[in-house]
Structure 1
């Protein structure tokens, strides 16, 4: 039963911290609403037409590459500690092999689609070509 009391205390402390932070922000943040500040703004696109607008798919590619490069780092560091245990060593090695294989497949897919090319080099090489 004490585990539930501790969990309830942590949840209550988290909720209290959230409420205190929001009230502190409300009291300390400057307020100077203007017409420009009150307009809708999302992802760097000003609303100039209706609710539907085309967005570039490259943002999805950035999210995909973030998962490939960041999640593996989050998973690899704790795995290095688990590998030291004699009972979990072989099982975790197999699991990590499967995980790294899935990441390599994702990275190969990104490379095949040209997502790993630096954007600045492609535009710079086109601008330096003789006319």
Structure 2
């Protein structure tokens, strides 16, 4: 059970209160002091000084989203391995074995993605 005295709890609530107060105060202050201009070109899209031409609806291949999801998954796993490498002295051999099993599952999932050809960009059609 945590043993927190009243002084620590009060300082935590002060911090939260003043942080929220400061954020709302800055938003309020910027809405009062900020300039409010209106012109003919205020709400038109701007692309490096060139007027936009054509439709903005573009169709992307699903492969882009798959690669992005794979990147996020493997990037998060790399973060876990970084945390393990920082605490290697505290975890000892048990942590080494656990990280070895973790890396094994990462490689197993990568080989599975290669086997089902999820990483191929060339389509058969």
TM-score of the two chains, using structure 1 as the length reference = 0.51
Q: CA deviation at 1:59?
A: 4.5
Distance change in 2, residues 1:79/1:57 (3 Å): same
Q: Alpha-carbon deviations, 1:60-84, whole Å to 9, x = none? A: 4224312333112211222112111
Partner residue of 2:110 out of 104, 107, 111: 107
CA distance in 2, matches of 1:57, 1:93: 37
Find runs of 4+ consecutive structure 1 residues off by over 2 angstroms.
Answer: 1-31, 44-47, 54-60, 113-117
- Paired residue for 1:72? 77
- Paired residue for 1:116? 119
CA distance in 2, matches of 1:97, 1:30: 60
- Paired residue for 1:89? 92
- Paired residue for 1:46? 57
- Paired residue for 2:66? 61
Greater gyration radius: 2
Contact 2:67 2:119 in 1 (8 A): no
- Paired residue for 2:20? 15
Contact 2:113 2:119 in 1 (8 A): yes
TM-score of the two chains, using structure 2 as the length reference = 0.53
Contact 2:84 2:95 in 1 (8 A): yes
- Structure 1, unmatched stretches of 5+, are 38-43, 48-53, 124-131
